[in-house]
Structure 1
Amino acid sequence: MDWEIEQTLVCPVTGTGFAIASAVKNMKLILWYKGNYFLRPGNILSHSPFGVIVNGRRTSIAIIHTFHYSSALWQTFKNRISCPGNDDPGIIVCPRYKACIFTLCPYGAKSD
């Protein structure tokens, strides 16, 4: 089954990501994952015996947990995860870069 990524968040404290994934008949999940690839809206995610496939390519993403989607749960994640890129994906300079666990910013931002 293919899942389309609708929205994403990254957590600079844990080095993990969250994504809303939808499938046929509007079935939705919230994925909590870790890896060196960060999901973006519009990505197509599928699973194979070889691992997680994103846009037809195998990636090194590990799904930590899945949650049934609820807007209240997603809003809780959005409110509690503090990353400037989550609100502004086009961010160029990040004021919190030095406090971030990511070696490379998932949004491509640089330190100020």
Structure 2
Amino acid sequence: MEWIVEKQLVSPTTGTFFALASDTNNTKVIIWYKGSYFIRSGNIIKTGCFGIVINGKARNIEVMHTFPFNHTVWNTFTSTISCPGNEGVIRCESTRSDRCLFDICPYGNKPLLETTG
């Protein structure tokens, strides 16, 4: 089966990701996963007995759960998951003060360095 990713979210407090994807029939699902690869908007996911292929490359991700898309659920995720990259504005440095479980920011942000005066 082939899916096109429409949107993505990063959950820094859980170290997991969410992807909103649709197939050729416009059936939409939310994929909750973890791993070292960050699925972005426009990526093409193919699934089958061979595993998961993203943009033509096998990727080692663990799908924790896949469920039918629901606007209310997706809106709840977007309003309650706090990450600067999810807001669509990519900064050179992250201003997050909460704990982030990602060693490397999926969006490419760098943590602010604390200075002592």
- Name the TM-score, length of structure 2 as normaliser: 0.90
Indicate the residue corresponding to 1:41 in structure 2. Answer: 41
Distance 2:41 2:97 in 1: 23
**After the TM superposition, which of the residue ranges 86-95 and 29-38 deviates more from structure 2?**
86-95
Greater per-residue helix proportion:
1
Aligned runs of 1:16-55 on 2, under 5 Å?
Answer: 16-55=16-55
**After the TM superposition, which of the residue ranges 83-92 and 70-79 deviates more from structure 2?**
83-92
Amino acid at match of 2:69: Y
- In structure 2, stretches of 5+ residues that fail to align are 113-117
- In structure 1, stretches of 5+ residues that fail to align are none
SS in 2 for 1:26: coil
Assess if the C-alpha contact under 8 Å between 2:6 and 2:20 holds in 1: yes
CA offsets 1:53-98 (integer angstroms, 9 cap, x no match): 1001000111100111011110011111111110035222101277
Larger radius of gyration: 2
Aligned runs of 1:65-76 on 2, under 5 Å?
Answer: 65-76=65-76
Distance 1:43 1:86 in 2: 17
Assess if the C-alpha contact under 8 Å between 1:17 and 1:33 holds in 2: yes
SS in 2 for 1:39: coil
Amino acid at match of 1:76: T
Superposition misfits of 4+ residues, deviation over 2 angstroms: 88-91
**After the TM superposition, which of the residue ranges 93-102 and 75-84 deviates more from structure 2?**
93-102
Distance 1:9 1:71 in 2: 14
Indicate the residue corresponding to 1:85 in structure 2. Answer: 85
Q: How many correspondences in the alignment?
A: 112
Indicate the residue corresponding to 2:109 in structure 1. Answer: 109
**After the TM superposition, which of the residue ranges 24-33 and 42-51 deviates more from structure 2?**
42-51
The 1:89/1:48 distance shift into structure 2, 3 A limit, reads farther
